[in-house]
A = this chain, B = another copy of it.
Amino acid sequence: MRTEIATLGEFGLIKHLTEGIALNHSSGIYGIGDDAAVLQYPAGKQVLVTTDLLMEGVHFDLTYVPLKHLGYKAAVVNFSDIYAMNGTPRQITVSLALSKRFSVEDMEELYAGIRLACRAYNVDIVGGDTSSSLTGLAISITCIGEADKADVVYRHTAQPNDLICVSGDLGAAYMGLQLLEREKAVLRGNDNVQPDFAGKEYLLERQLKPEARRDIIDALRDAHVRPTSMIDISDGLSSELLHICTQSKTGCRVYEEHIPIDYQTAVMAEEFNMNLSTCALNGGEDYELLFTVALADKEKVEALDNIKLIGYITPPDQGCMLITRDDHHEFTLKAQGWNGMQQ
């Protein structure tokens, strides 16, 4: 079934898509339907604002990404940015621009994913807009969150001797992307062959339906550990760690052997004949949290699940170094590709 957007019109479409959306947070005073959303945060709360513009063909490929997953991911990556400030996401606005290729049903799927993510993370949709595009789909989501002033964690506040921590594992989303790209190439021109992803579900899920690490933020708070700096890993561990070090004016030492990597990621890298550490360092789209903690918090952090210590912060003159697993060589971390390990 395909209903043309024109049958509803732009106002009709957004009304249809946002029907029944209610505000759950007390900080949301007025949502969709006016010139602006109206919010009111309690005194002492700081307001966090992050925004993301996703373009078809650059940030997503609809030949293998279902629209519902895309909506879910587009929302979650914004939540991840708010958690990376040690805050709580509260509201989003959603702007869509779509070509004639898309139907009302397509947009229902996309919105279903956005709504699912909002329910899962307890976030309200307070603004929505749709318009046309000449080619493809563009999705712009802005997320507003809150944090107590004393809780906000920046990138530029790491100190020498702080421990470098990372949540979950790295490189899986990147391997999931490689897997989907391979299947796309294999299946081109042959619609009847179903790809066999058995045993690789984790990689696909990491690519298609990432989650934001609210659980890590909660666990750190419960353990009374306040990170000294934090960032979410969207562009790869190397790139994000260099952001922290550059902005904090420090160096770092990271140990290859401590970088957390899932078994399926390792199997897939072997199959693709790719260097595993390169994937984990530069793969991107992990949406894990990279943060530093004071040395005094070492035992508290070690007691938490799903957090790995991978190194420590150094004075700036020591550079940003990776220590290899096998021969303990030192290489300078680079944001894209890591020369010492690239094949």
Contact = CB atoms under 8 A, between A and B. Distances in A.
Interface in A234-281: 247
Contact of A134 (B38, B57, B84, B129): B57
Given A38-B85, A142-B93, A50 B127 contact: yes
Q: What interface size band does chain A fall in?
A: 35 or more
Interface stretch (A101-109, A149-157, A166-174, A296-304): A149-157
Contact of A40 (B34, B40, B47, B335): B47
A41 interface: yes
Q: Most chain-B CB neighbours within 10 Å: which of A11, A45, A47, A50?
A: A47
A186 interface: no
Interface string A113-150: 00000000000001101011111101010111100010
Given A34-B85, A35-B82, A247-B33, A47 B41 contact: yes
B81 A36 contact: yes
Q: Most chain-B CB neighbours within 10 Å: which of A59, A129, A142?
A: A142
A224 to B, nearest CB: 22
7 closest A-B pairs by beta carbon, nearest first, are A43-B43, A36-B50, A53-B95, A140-B140, A35-B84, A36-B48, A57-B134
B84 A149 contact: no
Interface in A18-57: 29-30, 33-53, 55-57
7 contacts: A34-B156, A36-B50, A36-B81, A36-B84, A95-B140, A138-B138, A142-B142
Given A82-B36, A85-B38, A138 B97 contact: yes
Nearest to A46: B40
A175 interface: no
A58 interface: yes
Contacts of A47: 38-41, 47, 144
B35 A231 contact: yes
Given A36-B82, A38-B152, A81-B36, A131 B53 contact: yes
Interface string A213-246: 0000000000000000011100000000000000
A3 B127 CA distance: 37
A326 B132 CA distance: 38
Given A30-B154, A57-B134, A134-B57, A129 B51 contact: yes
Contacts of A129: 51-53
B127 A51 contact: yes
B87 A36 contact: yes
A91 interface: yes
A41 to B, nearest CB: 7
B35 A39 contact: no
B140 A55 contact: no
A236 B136 CA distance: 27
Contact of A95 (B43, B52, B143): B52
